Amino acid sequence: MEILIIHGPNLNLLGRREPEVYGSLSLSEINAIITAEAEQLNFTVECRQSNHEGIIIDWLQDSAAENFSGIIINPAAFTHTSVAIRDAIAAIDLPVIEVHLSNISGREDFRHKSLTAAVCRGTISGFGATSYLVALTAFKHLPTI
């Protein structure tokens, strides 16, 4: 099983950007943790990051043709603003799990509403980099959940 990991805008700044909210790990460190966990689960992962909405939409639309089995996406700020990413997730036939490093429900009011969550299999937030690992474990059990 190959899982596409999509990191949204500003996640390239992890480790430097608001570490009290997002933690001190860099994106490359998080990707290494994700890759190691995936290997333990007999998965392969491809990690991508973009600050551009259209690129993320292209990745979603092309994911089945690229033979991915599922997607873990952290839409970051696009969670709260992008109908286009929401519609791209709804248009594909792959399971998608939304993750967030921080607990979006415990933050500013505008972050409480996820436009993308309703078209994902589930949402995991508030556990830092571990949110991605929980999502990988969910994929391991996806046929039973």
Note the pLDDT tens digit of each residue in 53-112. 999 999 999 999 999 999 999 999 899 879 999 999 999 999 999 999 877 765 566 555
**Rounded mean pLDDT, 42-63:** 97
- pLDDT for position 24: 72
**Could you give the CA distance from residue 95 to residue 12 in angstroms, rounded to a whole number?**
25
**Rounded mean pLDDT, 5-26:** 82
Q: Specify whether domain 2-139 bears CATH 3.40.50.9100.
A: yes
The single residue of 100, 112, 132, 141 carrying the catalytic annotation is 100
Asked if residue 133 has pLDDT above 70, the reply is yes
Known catalytic membership, residue 100 = yes
Q: Where are the domains of the chain?
A: 2-139
Known catalytic membership, residue 7 = no
CA angle 31, 112, 102 (to 5 degrees): 30
The single residue of 7, 22, 80, 132 carrying the catalytic annotation is 22
Q: Which two tokens stand for residue 101?
A: 């490093």
